[in-house]
Structures are given as structure tokens and as C-alpha cells.
Amino acid sequence: HNGFSKKSMVPAIKSAKLHRVSHFVVTSWGDNGAEASMFSTLPSLYFISNKFYNDKLGNEDAFLKTLTNYSLDEWMSLDLMNQIYQSKEIKVVNPSKYLLYEDPLLGDPNIKLNLNYETYYRKMSDLLDPLTDRKSNYSYIFKTLYLLSNVLVAKSVLSLTIYKSYHKKSIAELQSINDLVIPDILKNIKEFYRMFKAQWYQENKFEGFEVQSYRLGGLMNRLEEVQSIITLYVDKKIDTINMLEQR
């Protein structure tokens, strides 16, 4: 959310200068699991430093390119993981998280899902792919989010595709979801998990990642359970999937 940070800090810094505040602390919070890399805020830190101290550090793009071998636009592309809604840069939302953990059968009635998410995250995957093998100390961050985007291509719309196939009474589509879609999501989650763990171990102490292990392990377990429920329905061992009768 570098875009949000930049927009929100402009009035904050203006007020600080107006009231002759000469020093302040910029904090980066790790609420609810601290999933984001601590270095993903580099564009914000540069912007805030330059804006407050007026150090004339130079061009932000050139600075980041020299420091990290990634341009400003490439760093800002990380924000796009959570910008599936147009014109929402100034609003902090995290669909890359809630679409990852949304239950495929229970769903969340407060979220208006859209099949376009699949196309969006496919574009994200294509955008981040060439950035993953850059010679840089920070390439692992781009690799982690690239692998997350691969997960979200199918996972972001899984509850919708299951729901629609079930109400069309399309056994063939449900069987395809079971045989192809969910196994592919599980494979991608495992790849993401390995890279996410490598990122965590590089930046943090080991403790804390157990939260991610519980969450992602639970997600994989639940997806396998969903497969078994769909199988019961496809094999006509149950007449309905109750969770899909009441969205």
C-alpha cells in the first residue's frame, strides 16, 4: 500500500511542518501475521524522507534502481496485488488475503465476488514473472508475490465457479473442478508456501511463521475436504451440498 502511504503522508507532513515538529517516527505495523515483507515499503520510506527533510536525494526512480536494481514502477507494481477495484489506491483493502482464505463452500456474503478476478491475477502473474529472476537482494519479494498471484488466478473465483456449476447441476464441471482446478490450486499454494517461508526466514526470526503454517496448512486441508464433499455429490452419495443451498 505504498500509494496509500504516500497520499496520506502529504497532509501529515504538511501539518508537522506547520507546527514545527522536527522529528517523527515512521512505523510499519505487523498486525494479523505480518505477511508483507518489511522492505516492500521502500518507496514510501524514500518519499517520506524526501518530503519531510527536503534532502534533495534525487530522483526516486533512480535512487531505488541504484539501491535495489528495481525501478519505482516495478516496486509500485507490488501494490497492484490489492488493487483489483479501480480507483481504490487511497483505500486500504487486502483482497490478496481475503480471497486467498475465503471458504470455497461457505463464502462471505459481505464480499461481492467477480469472475474478472481470474483475469486480473493472471495479468499480475504475467507482470511479476519477469521480475523474479532479477539480480537483486530483493528479488525474493517479487518471487513471493508472483507465486501468490498464481494461487489467486483460480482461488479468487473458486467459490463462484463451484457455486455456479452446482446450481447448473453440471456434474462434468464439478468433476473438472475436483480433478483439475483444486489440485492446481493446492500445487500453487505449496510453491507459494515454500517461497513465503524463505522470505520470512530471511527477514525475521523463525517464531511468528507458525501462524502462516497454521493458516496455509488449514487452507490446504479445507480444499481437500471440499474435494471430498464434491465427490460425494458427484457420486450421488448425497443429494445436495447444504452449504451451497444458502449462499
pLDDT digits (tens, 9 = 90+) for 175-227: 999 999 999 999 999 999 999 999 999 999 999 999 999 999 999 999 999 99
Centre a 10 Å sphere on the Cβ of residue 7 and count the other Cβ atoms it contains. Answer: 12
pLDDT (mean) for 21-33? 86
187/112 Cα distance (integer angstroms): 27
Give the least confident one: 43-52, 84-93, 223-232. 84-93
207/70 Cα distance (integer angstroms): 30
| The C-alpha cell that represents 145 in the structure block | 508475490
pLDDT category of residue 164 using cuts at 50, 70 and 90: very high
9/51 Cα distance (integer angstroms): 9
232/105 Cα distance (integer angstroms): 14
200/203 Cα distance (integer angstroms): 5
Pick from 13, 9, 33: nearest CA to 21: 13
Checking if the pLDDT of 110 tops 70, the result is no
Amino acid present at 121: Y
pLDDT at 126: 96
Checking if the pLDDT of 88 tops 60, the result is no
Count how many residues are written for the chain: 247
Which range is most confident: 31-40, 45-54, 55-64, 149-158?
149-158
The whole-model pTM stands at: 0.91
